[in-house]
C-alpha cells in the first residue's frame, strides 16, 4: 500500500474545478474565443514561460486527515466515503492509493478513463459522480496536465488503481475525490497507416507522437482536404460529441502557429460539427474514427477568411493541421 504522496513541483492549475485533470491550456486568443485553432495571445505565451511557483507541501495534519477518510465498496462501483471529521480541510494537495489494481501498467503520456466521486469537505455532501452519469473522465497522464501528487500515483501504476485525493478549494475549504482507473489507451493516434495522396505536406512524427511537416511546392488545394494518415479502430466521430484531440497547426508555408503537443494537454472540442472551432474542423473531423490521425488542409473560407487571426494567421491563409483523435463521447 502506497503512502500519501507529496507534490514534487508546483500544481499547475486549481484542481478544485471538480476534475482530476488540471485546467486544460486553451489555445485561445486575447478576445476570449473558444476556438482551439486560435493562437495564444502574446501575454499568455509569455506567462507560460514563467517558472512555476513552488507547490505547498502537505503537513502531518493534512496526511492524517486523509488517512482518517474511510472508503467502502467493491472496486468497479461507486464507493461510500466517510470523512474522519467535518469540516474536512487540507492545506495542500495530498493523495493515497486505496487499491493498487491488477491491469496494464500506466505510462507517462497514456490516456486513461477513470471514474471519480467528489465530496465537499465542509459537510461530506456529494458534489459530482461519473459513476452516476456512467461517463468516465478522460485524462492524459502527464506532469504538464496533472497535479504531481497524481502523476506520482498514476505513472507506473496499473489499470484498476483506486485512490483518494484531496485539495484546498477555497479559503478554509477543501474538496476530496475517490477515483478509479477504468482503462487506458495511447495518448496519440494508434492504428493502421494510410498512404496519403500526392501533393500534400509530408508528416513526420517524433518519438512521443508530436508531428512536424515538410512543405510541398505549389499552390494549396482550393477545397477542404481531409487525409487520414492513421486509421484508428474506434467508433466514428458523430456530430454533437465532445472530441478530445492532440493537434499542431501550420500555415501552408510551414510556419507553425500552435500545438497542443507543446502544452502536453489535449484539447476537448465540444459539439463537434457545430462546435466553436473553424469550419474545417467541424466538417473534417466528423466521420473519422477514434484513434485516427488526420491531416487537414483548410482553405481560407473554412478557416479565418479575409480577416485572418491576430498577428500569427494572415488574411486569406490556407492552414494545415495534423489532428490525433484520442476519444469521443
Catalytic residues: 247, 257-258, 278, 304, 321
| Burial class of 10 by CB neighbour count within 10 A (0 to 12, 13 to 18, 19+) | middle
Strands (E), the chain: 70-72, 80-82, 94-99, 111-120, 126-129, 137-140, 162-170, 173-185, 191-193, 202-205, 211-214, 225-232, 243-251, 256-259, 267-269, 293-298, 319-328
Find, among 117, 114, 124, 122, the residue nearest to 168 by Cα. Answer: 122
> How many helices (H) and strands (E) are present in the chain, helices listed first?
5, 17
Residues 6+ apart with CB under 8 A from 226: 283, 284, 288, 294, 295, 296
Find where cell 465537499 sits.
120
Instruction: Collapse the DSSP code of 208 into the 3-class scheme (helix H, G, I; strand E, B; otherwise coil) and give the result.
Output: coil
Pairing of strands 80-82, 137-140: unpaired
Residues 6+ apart with CB under 8 A from 21: 137, 139, 140, 145, 146
Q: Which three cell numbers stand for residue 60?
A: 502531518
Pairing of strands 267-269, 243-251: antiparallel
CA separation for the pair 76, 218 (Å, rounded) = 56
Amino acid at each position: 500500500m502506497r503512502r500519501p504522496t507529496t507534490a514534487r513541483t508546483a500544481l499547475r492549475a486549481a484542481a478544485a474545478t471538480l476534475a482530476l485533470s488540471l485546467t486544460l491550456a486553451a489555445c485561445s486568443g486575447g478576445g476570449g474565443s473558444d476556438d482551439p485553432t486560435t493562437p495564444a495571445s502574446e501575454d499568455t505565451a509569455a506567462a507560460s514561460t514563467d517558472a512555476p511557483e513552488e507547490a505547498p507541501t502537505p503537513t502531518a495534519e493534512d496526511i492524517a486527515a486523509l488517512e482518517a477518510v474511510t472508503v467502502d465498496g467493491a472496486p468497479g462501483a461507486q464507493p461510500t466515503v466517510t470523512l474522519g471529521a467535518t469540516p474536512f480541510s487540507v492545506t495542500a494537495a495530498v493523495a493515497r492509493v486505496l487499491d493498487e489494481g491488477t491491469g496494464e501498467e500506466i505510462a507517462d503520456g497514456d490516456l486513461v478513463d477513470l471514474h471519480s466521486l467528489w465530496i465537499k469537505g465542509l459537510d461530506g455532501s456529494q458534489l459530482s459522480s461519473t459513476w452516476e452519469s456512467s461517463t468516465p473522465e478522460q485524462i492524459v497522464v502527464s506532469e504538464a496536465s496533472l497535479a504531481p501528487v497524481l502523476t506520482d500515483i498514476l505513472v507506473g501504476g496499473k489499470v484498476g488503481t483506486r485512490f483518494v485525493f484531496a485539495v484546498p478549494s477555497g479559503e478554509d475549504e477543501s474538496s476530496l475525490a475517490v477515483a478509479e482507473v477504468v482503462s487506458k489507451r495511447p495518448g496519440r493516434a494508434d492504428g493502421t497507416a494510410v498512404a496519403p495522396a500526392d501533393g500534400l505536406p509530408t508528416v513526420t512524427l517524433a518519438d512521443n507522437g508530436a508531428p512536424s511537416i515538410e512543405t510541398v511546392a505549389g499552390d494549396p488545394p482550393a477545397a477542404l482536404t481531409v487525409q487520414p494518415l492513421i486509421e484508428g479502430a474506434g467508433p466514428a466521430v458523430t456530430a454533437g460529441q465532445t472530441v478530445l484531440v492532440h493537434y499542431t497547426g501550420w500555415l501552408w508555408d510551414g510556419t507553425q502557429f500552435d500545438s497542443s503537443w507543446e502544452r502536453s494537454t489535449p484539447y476537448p472540442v465540444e459539439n463537434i460539427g457545430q462546435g466553436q472551432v473553424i469550419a474545417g474542423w467541424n466538417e473534417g473531423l466528423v466521420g473519422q474514427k477514434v484513434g485516427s490521425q488526420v491531416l487537414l488542409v483548410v482553405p481560407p473560407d473554412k478557416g479565418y477568411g479575409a480577416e485572418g487571426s491576430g498577428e500569427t494567421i494572415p488574411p486569406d491563409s490556407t492552414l494545415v493541421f495534423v489532428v490525433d483523435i484520442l476519444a469521443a463521447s
